Amino acid sequence: MAATRTISGARAKLFLGDEEIGHAINVSGSETQMLQRVDVLGDIYSKEIIPMRRVVQFSASHVRIYKGSLKALGAMARGDTTAVLSFPPMTAVLYDTVEDDAIETITGCVAETRSWSVDAAGILNEQVSFQALKMKDEDEE
């Protein structure tokens, strides 16, 4: 059995290609495996349950982008239809800041919603939710 440990200072680094473009705290992710029952006429019970697909979602608040907004970096589409259809996916790596270990890697992140707020101290925060292709933990390659 793997030893459990407390994760300290977890945050995510955001990458566009191989370039680190920012980071986020207050991150969350989900991986859902969609299942389908196989039924046969004349049998009250399902014959089997088969996996159909996995869906990965990732959200982050308090996003900080180093050189402009997500849209300015091309991580969220802006412009005409061609630009919207051709923008590149991102990779997010959730890591423990104390140990500097990668905990989860979320690949194929495509920004779905983006919102922002300014708090009482005048700090601009950006909240972003993503659809993604894969979520891999530290033991997966």
User: Per-domain residue ranges for the chain?
Assistant: 12-137
User: Which one is predicted more confidently, 34 or 122?
Assistant: 34
**Taking residues 56-79, what's their average pLDDT?**
71
Given a cut of 90, whether residue 56 has pLDDT beyond it is yes
Question: What CATH fold (topology level) applies to the domain 12-137?
Answer: Pnp Oxidase; Chain A (2.30.110)
Helix (H) or strand (E) holding 34: strand 19-38
2 compared with 121, residue with greater pLDDT = 121
Question: Does residue 11 contact residue 64 with C-beta atoms inside 8 Å?
Answer: no
Torsion from C-alpha of 62, 65, 66, 67, nearest 10 degrees? -150
Q: How far apart are CA 89 and CA 55, in angstroms?
A: 15
Judge whether 63 and 126 are in contact, CB under 8 Å.
yes
Rounded CA separation 9/64 (Å): 16
pLDDT interval class at 48 (50, 70, 90) = very high
Distance CA 78, CA 76 (A): 7
Distance CA 135, CA 29 (A): 8
**pLDDT higher for 31 or 9?**
31
pLDDT band at 135 (very low <50, low <70, confident <90, very high): very high
Choose between 34 and 10: higher pLDDT.
34
